Structure 1
Amino acid sequence: MRTRRAPAVVIAAFCCAVLTGCVGSVGGAPSDPRSGGGLAYGLAPQPDKGTTFQADVVLVDGGASSVRSVTADGLTWTLSPSAGGISDLKPGRVMFLTDRGVGRVVAVRTTSAGVAVTIGPVDLTGVIRDGDFASQGAVPITNPVVHSAAGAFWADPELQRQAGVAQGTGADLPAVATRGSASAGLPRPPSPAAIVADTVKATTGSFNLTGSCCGNGPGVSLAYDKNGLSMAGRVALDMERPTADFALKISGGTASAAALTVRGAAGISAKLSATAQPNAAIHGFSPPLGMDFDFSVPVGVFFGVPLNLVVSQRFTMEVNIPGQAHLDAVGKIKLGSSLGFRYADKKFSNTTSASLDTSASLTATNSIAVGISYAAFDYNVRFTVGLGYLGFVAGVYLALGAHVLATVGAPIGFNVAQGAQDPIEHCKSVQGELWADYGVGYTIPTPVATLVNYFLEAFHSTPISTSGGLSHGWTPVFPPKYEVFPQSGFCVKK
C-alpha cells in the first residue's frame, strides 16, 4: 500500500482499486492545497490505484491551471477551451476538475472568456463507485482555508424575498419558490480569493459578521446598528484543540460503512447584548446568517482523490425588546468531549451527548425593561469530509442543530405573590434543545436551494434537492429543557 501526500497536508490512507469508469484524463496539477493554484481552486484528482469512478464522471485535465474564473456562488466555472476532457462535458454528466470543482453539469456554453460550465450538487457516490477511505489517527482541525461567497446571489436578503424565501424560525427557514424571470438580474461576481486564515469578515443585509475557526472551534460574531436597535453577539461551538477522524467505504456506488468523530468539544454558546432606543419597541428576525463563508481543512490526497474537512455554519436569531431597554441574553449547552456517529451493517449509532448549562445561562442573562425581553438562536454547524465547494460539499458528515432561548421578565412592578423573594422581582428563563444529523451525502440550506433553483430556471434544469445520499435524519440529542429562576412567587415553572 502507498500514499501520495501534498506538502503540509495531514495524513490519511486509501485502499487499492483500479481507476476506471471515467471519461477523459488528467495532466499535471498543483499539489499544495494552501498555496498557488491549489489554494485558488483546489487540487485535481490524479490517475492512481485506489478508486473506481462512476462511468459518467469526466476528469478535466490540469485542475486549477485550467480555471479562468469561478462565480462567487460556486456554480459556474469558466475553463480553458484547450483543457483535456472538456469536450466530454455534457448536461447530466459529472465534472471532476478539483476537490472544489465537482458537480453534475447543468449547462455548458462557450464565451469569449472560455468554456463556462454550470454545475449543481452531486452526492459522493455519484462520483465514486468503489473506494475504501480511512484517516490514520487524529486529524487536527487547524490552519483552515477560508472560502468566501461574498457577492453570491443566494446570500442577498432582497433576492431571498424576491424568490419567495419566507420568514420563519429555525436554523433552516421554510421557503417557497415563486415562478418568474428566473436568473434575470441576479448578481454573479467572481469568487473572492481563498486565503489561509482563522477569521473572515462578511455582511448579510445590515449584519456585519466575523466567522472564525478552528483552534477554539467554529463561531460567528455579529454586529448590528439600525432602526433604533444596536446589537453585538456571538454563536459558537466552543472547542479546545479539535481533531477529527473518519472512515468511508463505498461499494458499487453505495456507502456500506462510514464513521466521523470530532473531539475536543465543550459546548454551544449563544450570547447577545442589545439596546433599543426610545420609542423603538423591537420584535424582529434576522435573515439566515453565516451562509457566505466556509472553512476547509485539507486532510490528504487518498490514492489520487483529494479530500477536505469543511466546516460550515448558519444561524438565525429573533429578538424582542419592549421599548427603550437593554438586554443581555446568554444560553449555553454542554457537550460531551467527542461528537460523532458510525454506520455499519445498515445501522447508525450516535456517540453525541449534551445537556443544558442552566446555571451559566441564567446567571449571565439580564434586562432593564418595562416588559418581557428575549433572544432566541437557532444554530447549525456541520462537519463534512468530502468533495465540493461552499454549501455544496458532499461526503461523510455530522451536523448539530441547537435552539437556545433566553427570556427576562420586567423588573419594574411590585410582586406581592406569596413566597416572593423580592417585592421588585423579575423572572429569568432559559430553554435549550439539540439535534444531530449524520450520514454520507449533502444537505443544502433551504434558502440557498431555493435561490439556486430560481437561478437554474433559466437553463430549464431539473430543480436541485436540498439533500442527497445516505442520511440518518435529524434526531434529538436532548429534548427541549426549560428552567426558570428564581423558583418562587410567580417565577415558578409551570
Structure 2
Amino acid sequence: MSSPPHAGTGVSGRRALWTSGLLAVVLLCACSTGGTATTAPTATSAAALSGPESAYGASPKSDASIVYQSDVVLVGGGASAVQSVSADGMVWTIKGSAGHIQDLVPGKIMLATGLGAGRILAVSTVGNNKQVVLGPVDITDVVRNGNFDSAAPVSLNSVMAYQTPTRPGLISSLDDGPAGSATPTVTGTQSQAPESVPINSPDTAAPLTPDTGPSTAASIQSPSGSVSSSPQTPTTEPGDIRLPTVEFNSVAQPAGWRLPRPEIGRRAAPPAVPGSPGSGVLPLPVPTPPADDVGAYTLTPFCCTTGAGVRLAYDHAGMRVSATLTLHLSAPTVSFRLHIAGGKVTDASIDLHGAAGIGVQFSAASTAGVKGNVARQRVQVPVAFTVPIGGFALPLTARVEQTFSLSTAFASPGSVTASGDYSFGGTIGFGIHGVTQNVTKVDNFATQTSLLDSIQAVGIAPVGLIFGYQAKLTVGVGLLGFSAGAWLSLVVRIGVTAASSEAAVPCRLAAINVQLGYGIGYEIPAPVAKLVNFFLSTFGAPPIKASGGITGPYESIVNKSATLPAGTSCQ
C-alpha cells in the first residue's frame, strides 16, 4: 500500500524559528511523534542499498515515528520511481507510474529519497514522466514532529562520493558578494575592522589577529602588529592591495592584508553556466572520485578515514599553482540529536569526533607577474562525500562538502612555496538545550611544521598568496548545495607574503586563522544564488533566496601571525 501523499497537519510554524537571540544549529533527522526514536541510527553501507537507492538515495517511509509537514509529497516507490537525475543534481525525472505523481506541483515539497528532497520550483511533462526542478528547504519544512537521537556515533570511514559536475556557480567572483560584506580600511600600518558584522558569509581568505576570545567580529592585524576594532568604511589605500572577503555560508568576517601593490590583479567574471540547464546525467557514486576540471582548476578531493581535503592544480595566463589543503581526521565519527515539535526545533546537538589538525602545502609560480594574478575566486568542490544513515522513516545522510578560495599578488614574475601542519586532537561540535547554547572546540592547537619557517620566494618584487578552505559536515537530506539539515563548519585561512629576494631585509610573513561555525537550514553565497536563479529562469521557475534557517556565530580556534625577521612590517 503506497504512502499517503501528505503527512502531518497544518503549515503554520513550518520554519524553525528559535527564540530571539538563540542562534543554534540543529541536526536534521527522521523524527517520531513523541518520545525518542525506537531504533538507533546505523551507518548503512552503500553496498547494502538496492540499485536505485545506491544511485539516488534511500526511500522514505510514512509511519508512526514521524509527522511530515502537510505539503510534503512522498513519491510512491521512492528510489524505484526515479527515472534519472540531471548532472547538476537539480532536475529529477520521476516515472509516470509513480504514486502521487499528480501531487508534484510547484510550491510543494518533494520527498522521493534521502537525496531527492526539496521545494518544487517547476514541473514539466516529458512523455509519461515528470521533470521536477528542486530548490532548497529547511528541515522544518519537511518534518513537523519527532525526536531523533544517535545512540552511538556514526562512522565516516566508508563514504560514497556523489558528483554534480555541472552544478551552476562552481566558480564565482568574490566581487559579487552581498552589499553588506565588510572589508577593513587600511591606513598606514593599521588595518581596522567593524565592531559588528552582517549575517551573510565569513571571510576565509585572510588571516585575522591573535585570538582575544569569542566574537562575531574580528580585529585585523597588519604586519606591524597594530590592532583596532573601530567601525570603518571599506576603502583601499593606494600602495596596498586588498585581498578578498570569501563567503562560506556564515557570519561575515572582515579581512585585510597589507601587501605591496603591483596593481590589482584581473578580476575574472564568474564563468557561464556549463552546459544546458538540467542536461547530462548524475554520475553514479564511487568510493574515490576521479580528478575533475572546474574552470582552470583540476581538483582531486578526498575523504574521510585519515582526512578530508582537496588537491588542486591551477594553470592559466602564466600562473601555476599546486596545493593540498587537508583537515586531518583520525577514525572520524559523528553524533547528533534533534527534537522537533510543532515544526520548531527544541533541542539539538552535533559533534564530530576524531578531528586531528590541518595542513597546507603549496607552490605558485608566475611568468606573467601582475597580469597572471588570480583575483578573488571562490570554488565549490563538486563532490559530496556521504554516508547513508539507516533505521529511520526519513533517510538521512552524513555529508562532507568542501569549498576553497584563492588570491595571488605577484608584482613581477616569481615563485613562492610553503607548507605548514598544525594539530588539535579531539571533538568539535555544538549543542542547544532549552535556552542554553554551547560550542565544543579544541584548545590544544600546536604547530608541527611552521608555515613561516618554510616560506621560499624568488622574484625581483614582493609576492603574496592567500588560501581559504572550508570543510562542512551536514546531517540531513538533499544533494550537494541544496541539503536540508544541521551543519558544522570548519573554516581555515592561510596567507603568506614575502619581500623581494633582492631586498635588503628579506621579510617573510605568515598567518593562520581557524574558526568553527554551525547552523541549520541552507545558505548559498550571493553570486552562486544569482547563477542558480539564472539557471532556474530557463524553466520559468521563481528565484530562490540565498539562505534559509539560522546561522550561529563563528568562534575562533586560533589566530596567529608572525614575521621574519621578528617585528618587521614586510612593506
TM-score, length of structure 1 as denominator length: 0.82
Contact 2:31-2:146 at 8 Å conserved across structures: yes
Find the residue that maps to 1:64 and give its secondary structure.
helix
Find the residue that maps to 1:448 and give its secondary structure.
helix
For 2:102 and 2:77, the matched residues in 1 are separated by 14
Q: Confirm or deny that 1:443 pairs with 2:533.
A: no
The CA deviation at 1:262 is 0.5
Unaligned runs of 5+ in 2: 1-28, 35-44, 179-242, 253-271
Change (3 A) 1:441 1:285: same
Mapping of residues 244-393 of structure 1, within 5 Å: 244-277=334-367, 282-285=372-375, 287-302=377-392, 304-332=393-421, 334-353=423-442, 355=445, 357=447, 360-393=450-483
Output the amino acid matched with 2:350. Answer: L
For 1:288 and 1:389, the matched residues in 2 are separated by 20
Superposition RMSD on alpha carbons, in Å?
3.1
Contact 1:372-1:407 at 8 Å conserved across structures: yes
Change (3 A) 1:273 1:148: same
The CA deviation at 1:244 is 1.0
Q: Confirm or deny that 1:198 pairs with 2:288.
A: yes
For 1:56 and 1:134, the matched residues in 2 are separated by 25
Q: Confirm or deny that 1:482 pairs with 2:561.
A: yes
For 1:449 and 1:34, the matched residues in 2 are separated by 33
The CA deviation at 1:183 is 9.1
Unaligned runs of 5+ in 1: 1-12, 19-29, 175-181, 416-425
1:209 to 291, 299, 309: 299
For 1:93 and 1:33, the matched residues in 2 are separated by 31
Deviation string 1:331-386 (CA, Å, 9 cap, x unpaired) is 55543421100011134211123657496211222212222222101112110111
Output the amino acid matched with 1:99. Answer: G
For 1:356 and 1:373, the matched residues in 2 are separated by 27
The CA deviation at 1:130 is 0.8
1:170 to 246, 251, 266: 246
Mapping of residues 96-175 of structure 1, within 5 Å: 96-112=111-127, 114-155=129-170, 157=171, 168-172=244-248
**1:420 maps to which residue?**
none
Change (3 A) 1:443 1:232: same
1:239 to 313, 329, 335: 329
The CA deviation at 1:35 is 5.2
Output the amino acid matched with 2:518. Answer: Y
Contact 2:168-2:273 at 8 Å conserved across structures: no
The CA deviation at 1:305 is 1.4
The CA deviation at 1:398 is 0.6
Contact 2:92-2:132 at 8 Å conserved across structures: yes
Deviation string 1:89-116 (CA, Å, 9 cap, x unpaired) is 1211111000011111111121136211
For 1:201 and 1:340, the matched residues in 2 are separated by 31
The CA deviation at 1:73 is 1.9
The CA deviation at 1:192 is 3.1
2:497 to 407, 419, 433: 407
Contact 1:57-1:93 at 8 Å conserved across structures: yes
Change (3 A) 1:183 1:194: closer
Deviation string 1:275-325 (CA, Å, 9 cap, x unpaired) is 2237676422363223311111112231x1111001000011112233332
**1:423 maps to which residue?**
none
1:464 to 534, 544, 552: 544
Work out the percentage of aligned pairs sharing the same amino acid.
32
Which one scores higher on RCO, CA 8 angstroms, separation ≥ 6?
2
For 2:501 and 2:101, the matched residues in 1 are separated by 68
**1:453 maps to which residue?**
533
Change (3 A) 1:195 1:286: farther
For 1:262 and 1:209, the matched residues in 2 are separated by 25
**1:432 maps to which residue?**
512
Mapping of residues 40-55 of structure 1, within 5 Å: 40-55=55-70
Contact 1:58-1:88 at 8 Å conserved across structures: yes
The CA deviation at 1:209 is 0.4
The CA deviation at 1:184 is 12
Output the amino acid matched with 2:33. Answer: A
Output the amino acid matched with 1:297. Answer: V
TM-score, length of structure 2 as denominator length: 0.72
Deviation string 1:450-488 (CA, Å, 9 cap, x unpaired) is 21112223455443222222331x423147432112326
Comparing 245-254 with 478-487, greater Cα deviation is found at: 478-487
For 1:113 and 1:367, the matched residues in 2 are separated by 63
1:73 to 71, 88, 93: 88
The CA deviation at 1:393 is 1.1
Change (3 A) 1:432 1:454: same
Find the residue that maps to 1:218 and give its secondary structure.
strand
Output the amino acid matched with 1:103. Answer: G
Comparing 292-301 with 99-108, greater Cα deviation is found at: 292-301
Find the residue that maps to 1:117 and give its secondary structure.
strand
Output the amino acid matched with 1:120. Answer: G
Output the amino acid matched with 2:411. Answer: P
Contact 1:376-1:405 at 8 Å conserved across structures: yes
Output the amino acid matched with 1:487. Answer: A
Output the amino acid matched with 2:395. Answer: P
Contact 1:198-1:212 at 8 Å conserved across structures: yes
The CA deviation at 1:205 is 0.6
Find the residue that maps to 1:195 and give its secondary structure.
coil
Aligned residue pairs, count:
447
**2:231 maps to which residue?**
none
